Amino acid sequence: MACNLAVRSGQLPLTSMASAENEVCAVRSVACPSQTWRPQKVQCGLSGAGQVPFTNMAAGMGSRADGPRTSGHVTGKMAVFPCVSLGRVVGAPFYLQKFSSQVTESKTKKVNRKGSTSSTSSSSSSSMVDPLSSVLDGTDPLSMFAATADPVALAAATDSSRRKRDRDDNSVVGSDFEPWANKRGEILARYTTTEKLSINLFMGSEKGKAGTATLAMSEKVRTRLEELDDFEEGSQKELLNLTQQDYVNRIEELNQSLKDAWASDQKVKALKIVIQCSKLLSDTSVIQFYPSKFVLITDILDTFGKLVYERIFSMCVDNRSVLPDHFSPENANDTAKETCLNWFFKIASIRELIPRFYVEASILKCNKFLSKTGISECLPRLTCMIRGIGDPLVSVYARAYLCRALLTEMMERCKKLGNNALLLNSVMSAFRAEFIATRSMDFIGMIKECDESGFPKHLLFRSLGLNLALADPPESDRLQILNEAWKVITKLKNPQDYINCAEVWVEYTCKHFTKREVNTVLADVIKHMTPDRAFEDSYPQLQLIIKKVIAHFHDFSVLFSVEKFLPFLDMFQKESVRVEVCKCIMDAFIKHQQEPTKDPVILNALLHVCKTMHDSVNALTLEDEKRMLSHLINGFIKMVSFGRDFEQQLSFYVESRSMFCNLEPVLVQLIHACVAYCFITIPSLAGIFTRLNLYLHSGQVALANQCLSQADAFFKAAISLIPEVPKMINIDGKMRPSESFLLEFLCNFFSTLLIVPDHPEHGVLFLVRELLNVIQDYTWEDNSDEKIRIYTCVLHLLSAMSQETYLYHIDKVDSNDSLYGGDSKFLAENNKLCETVMAQILEHLKTLAKDEALKRQSSLGLSFFNSILAHGDLRNNKLNQLSVNLWHLAQRHGCADTRTMVKTLEYIKKQSKQPDMTHLTELALRLPLQTRT
């Protein structure tokens, strides 16, 4: 036996909806604790205030009253709660605690689970008469007003009210608030699955769709209860093996069905769809798809909540008045309140916890029609209900939905609490920057109204500034925001309070305004921080200001035209801090300056900045620091160009050389840029190989610019420097032999000497002769073969010089091939040098005849053989015989690599097949391979 409670208008509206709305609330019976799970008759006593059975919606964790605690998890049966007096319910919804009226009881006999329900009403109510019914005598004044109202005016009033409310909602939520519908595509694309999904679909009945206008109220109640029972008794079908897209399509179909049912005045069916969708959130079998499922289903819940709110709100609109933007429950009429209550009672009858929670949360906003504190009173109960959800993932997402439903009310709560400064600061610190930025003027207004004694206003403005640095406010409000904030900031007397706040708002100014506003802000900072040298205690904040300014002003001509920028730099009196600031400026210049510049404003300012960095170098400066400073200064020097105005360029280099004499890498950079001063500056450098390479590079630059005499001077200086090369040099803090580095330098030098023309007054190949003399006199290591390798490279050079046309040239420079034109005297001098060098090589090979040096002898002999093969004319009998001797020398003591020898011989035979290389055939026959026995 179940207790079906029907209440007339003006009484406790547990099951009946307002007659004008045709809506019914079904409250299901529950057994008392002593009768747990026993299908016994429940006796509900009725007294003056009335006692009724009800389902305790609190927390899904059992009753907090007298009965035993029971689980709120749904197990197919309904959780059991005790029957208690309405006047003393603990944990019940607030709307169950405020009304005490007469109740009638209807006994319903159920014939079939899916059949019709016959109802026999036995009046067991008291004899009290409904005062509202007796006074009105059955006449509904609201219906009379509605009947006499102009339908066009009524529709216009409703639309106007809805537009106002939408604007109010937008002012609370904000244009930056991204609804779930907009976020849907992104989340669905991210949280996907290839697993098959399932869904339970409600098979809607056609009962009750026709002829509802002619049904009596009791018949409507019976029909709707049957529909709800039919849904809960299993009139569903389960679709299996759905793909993700099929699942999404089914959910969208349910969303559309919800709208269609609502539009056709099938409110019970709409509720069934919402309940059915909410139940899907308890399924986490495909966990990677759960976020997408949550988005889809909460979208349906949002639609349902909006439809319910719009319906109740429309009841408060008549031809005489419209609800104000910020209405109170007193502005709502009785019909709207009763309908709102009926919706909450209908939702309270949902037996399962998860759908009951989600559906109530979706219409949480409707509490505004019932009580000013309705949301505040419901929130703890809904929060506790989440504790009854066993699955942690489902529980977390339920909390997320509740937080989302409450977000729109936070701004109003701040205002109602008298603009509590501490709460306001917490909101600005915790909420998204976009949310705060969109409402900047609202927050400024609330900050102005705050009591400064509780929480300083400048801290509130600092929190607001931090948000505006991350998100942009409306363009029309930007200047007003800056003015309002700076009015408060500039009045601060404490320098620390001032600079902490100003540092944040400088970024906002740089981001949205021009150099004029930035100059004003910098001037104000200088004004506040200069007295009593207050800047000395605020270097970190001042550094942040500089970093923010240069981060937003990439055009340095604009930056240095800011009048107060350089005076602002003068506040950095501490050298270490000053250098760090200069490094930040130079780093930004190198990073953002795309084109070379000759702007005198930029050059003068950055020369001053670089001079500050250079002058900080002393004997205690670390090498890494020197390297960093040099890199920054060099980057500046490279970006300076006066085009074809060489005088200006030279003047700049001269000034730079005088300024940056303590940093060797900077001097190296200047040497590369200014050949005219290289010859004077290079000797002042400490590194021997740095000087050698710079002489070589300077000579090459001189050649490229047709400065032949300067090139000869550089090459002579390099040759004269070679004897000073030490045996060991310091490389990255470690002592290493220098001969390999010298060999590398000389090879590069030989490549350059090929194209250097002879001086008419110094004879043939004078630079090569001087270089050979220096190599001969240089003290080499006893067990080193680097000297022979160098001589081999000299042979390559002389071979290239004997050609009629050289392999490469420098534009507008005539090399020896053009000067001598294959003259016999030049070739004879070349051959003499070759013979001298070859004699030196052979002499060295003889010294390697000892046992411990035989392997070196074999290797050098084969190398010399290959050089003759590649560069010599083997038609010369002497040279041909020398090559055969070297072949035998390489194999004499069994030290040669047989594979290399075989490949060399194959190469000779291959070359001999060419028309002009037939002489190699005879040579190949004279080159036997080493045999091993």
Greatest pairwise CA separation for the chain in angstroms: 145
892-898 average pLDDT score: 79
Number of residues written out for the chain: 933
Residue 873, classified by CB atoms within 10 Å of its CB into exposed (0-12), middle (13-18) or buried (19+), is: exposed
With both helix axes pointing from N to C terminus, report the angle between 664-673 and 623-638 in degrees, rounded to the nearest 10: 20
Cα gap 147→141, rounded to integer Å? 10
pLDDT of residue 299: 86
Residue 424, classified by CB atoms within 10 Å of its CB into exposed (0-12), middle (13-18) or buried (19+), is: buried
Residue 240: band (very low, low, confident or very high) from pLDDT cuts 50, 70, 90:
low
The one-character DSSP state at 928 is P
Residue 307, classified by CB atoms within 10 Å of its CB into exposed (0-12), middle (13-18) or buried (19+), is: buried
Virtual CA dihedral for 47, 53, 57, 60, nearest 10 degrees?
130
Residues 314-337 as b or e (16 or more Cβ within 10 Å = b): ebbbbeeebbeeebebeebbebbb
Residue 50: band (very low, low, confident or very high) from pLDDT cuts 50, 70, 90:
very low
Cα gap 184→292, rounded to integer Å? 8
pLDDT in tens, 568-584: 999 998 989 999 999 99
SS3 734: strand
Contact status, residue 138 vs residue 129, Cβ threshold 8 Å:
no
pLDDT in tens, 496-547: 999 999 999 999 999 999 999 999 999 999 999 999 888 998 899 999 999 9
Residue type, 151: P
Kindly report which listed range (100-114, 152-166, 417-431, 705-719) carries the lowest average pLDDT score: 100-114
Residue of 44, 27, 15, 32 lying closest to 79 (CA atoms): 32
pLDDT in tens, 847-872: 887 777 788 888 888 888 999 888 88
Cα gap 861→855, rounded to integer Å? 10
112-128 average pLDDT score: 35
Whether 416 has a pLDDT exceeding 70, the answer reads: no
743-760 average pLDDT score: 91
Kindly report which listed range (20-34, 301-315, 452-466, 675-689) carries the lowest average pLDDT score: 20-34
Tell me the β-bridge partners of 105: 5
